[in-house]
Amino acid sequence: MQVSMYRASVPVFARNLRNLIGILRKAEAHSAERKIEPSVLLNYRLAPDMFPLARQVQIATDMAKGCVSRLAGVEIPTYEDKEASFGELVARLEKCIAYLEGFKPEQVDGTEGKTIVLKRPTGDVTYLGLPYLLEYVQPNVYFHCTTAYAILRHCGVAIGKKDFIGPN
């Protein structure tokens, strides 16, 4: 059985982002129960040179929507990156999930060999569709979701592997 580009992107990204919503909701409850100002968690980072929690969530959504948009050949929607509360981050995730789930398989399938060019300040980087998805975007989405999880776990939020992986 061959796995489609759609199946390897849209449902995978949507699941990870939904799981991140659950994690953020637990973090918000933790913040309220412990009377921790939410901005403390939203701005927390594991190391001085890392992005804080809110930025990790923003990048996860940017990677997911950028990938599917590029593969489908449509303009990437821009989000303002102004989220300053758990509710705003959850709304961003929900907006991104709805966007992703608006794609049909035929828009993404068959893009394994499509040329994807990423514009960078240091020069353009070119990928073919399949390596772009599997070797660049998927690891980035996982990285930023994992880092968001790790920040919150480090801060004492009662989350575990099941929260990250999600329901079976």
pLDDT in tens, 22-52: 999 999 999 999 999 999 999 999 999 999 9
Count how many domains the chain has: 1
Q: Cα–Cα distance between 119 and 157 in angstroms, integer?
A: 37
3-state DSSP assignment of residue 111: coil
Is it the case that residue 2 has pLDDT exceeding 90? Answer: no
Residue 3 forms part of a structural domain: no
Residue 134 forms part of a structural domain: yes
Q: How many other CB atoms are found less than 10 A from the CB of residue 87?
A: 13
Q: Cα–Cα distance between 168 and 166 in angstroms, integer?
A: 7
**Sign (positive/negative) of CA torsion 60, 64, 70, 74?**
negative
**What is the average per-residue pLDDT within 148-158?**
98
Higher pLDDT, 168 or 69: 69
Q: For residue 167, what pLDDT band results from cuts at 50, 70 and 90?
A: confident
Is it the case that residue 154 has pLDDT exceeding 80? Answer: yes
Residue 76 forms part of a structural domain: yes
Q: Cα–Cα distance between 42 and 54 in angstroms, integer?
A: 5
pLDDT at 1: 58
pLDDT at 166: 92
Q: Cα–Cα distance between 22 and 99 in angstroms, integer?
A: 19
The residue range of the domain holding 27 is 10-165
Looking at the DSSP assignment, which residues form a beta bridge with residue 115?
Answer: 128
Q: What is the pLDDT of residues 52-107, one digit of tens each?
A: 999 999 999 999 999 999 999 999 999 999 999 999 999 999 999 999 999 999 99
Q: Cα–Cα distance between 8 and 64 in angstroms, integer?
A: 11
Residue 127 forms part of a structural domain: yes
Eight-state DSSP code of residue 157: -
Which one, of 75, 30, 52, lies nearest residue 147 by Cα? 52
**What is the average per-residue pLDDT within 117-124?**
94
Residue 80 forms part of a structural domain: yes
Which one, of 148, 137, 159, lies nearest residue 43 by Cα? 148
Place of tokens 């995978």: 12
Is it the case that residue 120 has pLDDT exceeding 80? Answer: yes
pLDDT at 168: 75
Residue 2 forms part of a structural domain: no
Residue 78 forms part of a structural domain: yes
